[in-house]
Copies of this chain bind each other. A is one copy, B any other.
């Protein structure tokens, strides 16, 4: 029997959102709600005529399915949601605790996309060179052994990597009356593409509009740091999250918290600005919640921080700044919410 505390959401093809902001909520939920969600992969997209659920979902499912042929801008990166969180107002913070993130299929797809990615010129880093060849890799997922199998296209090479499922895109409606494509990461979250967004972490997002309008998608069976070619091991997901609300706590840029780390993010171009935002946010976190003076926090973070790149391919680049909690004084950041959600998660019957 399903846990009665859990709201199960299985969107139909018409139910996905393609933007943060600008889409009507699919449900209103109370803080504390557990959502059992299905998210489609980033290639799933609306087909205007004669579509069926099947063709919605499976746009890139073989090595022959080139993105430039089977996908239609802007109907890329479908988001499950948005959810209107009751009581959420600008100045508050939404917390999304990831209870589990599990691949919904036994395969995943990755590709090159013309003029997209870090090791190619793009529409912004514009050159006269032709794009790289378009190519698809289908990865086999072994959900028992927790592996993803890479099969080379130009040789017989086969290599296994560990599964490390995550969501590339988690966000709320943006500020400034804006509506942003689901492909964009910014202060509202969105397409940050950090592998830190995995089961066990809590993501904090500042609320910009009434109800927050939370949505998520873009599951990755795994992803390297930087998402270099622009596309991870893209996979539909079954994901359980607990959504909660911190009243009167502002969160200018998305933060994550795990059992072991405080994690700040920043999204901007050039990449050093994303780095600056994430590091300054971490410094301010130490000041607000851990009793540091500002320059002391700057000094301490300088020596202690881990700074993995998240993405260097999207419309903004994203950097992460991580600090081990065990090196810090014992405190309860964000009113101890992560620990409480972690505890709640343990009690769920999934």
A interface residue numbers (CB < 8 A to B): 18-19, 21-22, 73-74, 110, 112, 118-121, 123-133, 135, 137, 139, 148, 150, 152-155, 157, 159-161, 175-181, 183, 222-233, 266, 268-273, 275-277, 279-280, 283, 291-296, 298-309, 312, 317, 319, 321, 327-329
Contacts and interface: CB of A to CB of B under 8 A. Distances in A.
Contact of A228 (B230, B233, B305, B317): B305
Given A126-B119, A128-B283, A273-B126, A180 B181 contact: no
A198 B301 CA distance: 20
B19 A177 contact: yes
A169 to B, nearest CB: 15
Nearest to A130: B129
A155 B293 contact: yes
Contacts of A228: 279, 298, 301-302, 305
A295 B63 CA distance: 14
A309 B271 CA distance: 10
A112 B292 CA distance: 16
A296 B152 contact: yes
Given A126-B276, A298-B228, A303-B233, A293 B223 contact: no
A293 B292 CA distance: 37
A299 B229 contact: yes
**Chain A facing B: main interface SS:** loop
A21 B271 contact: no
Contact of A300 (B19, B159, B178, B296): B159
11 contacts: A21-B179, A120-B129, A125-B125, A128-B132, A161-B304, A178-B179, A222-B303, A225-B307, A233-B303, A270-B272, A275-B309
A194 B308 CA distance: 13
A115 to B, nearest CB: 10
A225 B128 contact: no
Contacts of A305: 224-226, 228
A312 B317 CA distance: 15
Query: Most chain-B Cβ atoms within 10 A of its Cβ — which of A119, A120, A135, A179?
Result: A119
Nearest to A179: B179
A326 B118 CA distance: 25
Nearest to A280: B126
B293 A119 contact: no
A73 B176 contact: yes
Given A112-B299, A150-B300, 16 more contacts: A73-B176, A118-B276, A119-B283, A124-B276, A127-B129, A128-B298, A135-B295, A154-B292, A157-B291, A160-B327, A224-B301, A225-B306, A226-B279, A229-B299, A232-B302, A270-B271
Contact of A19 (B132, B178, B299): B178
A128 B177 contact: no
A133 B298 CA distance: 12
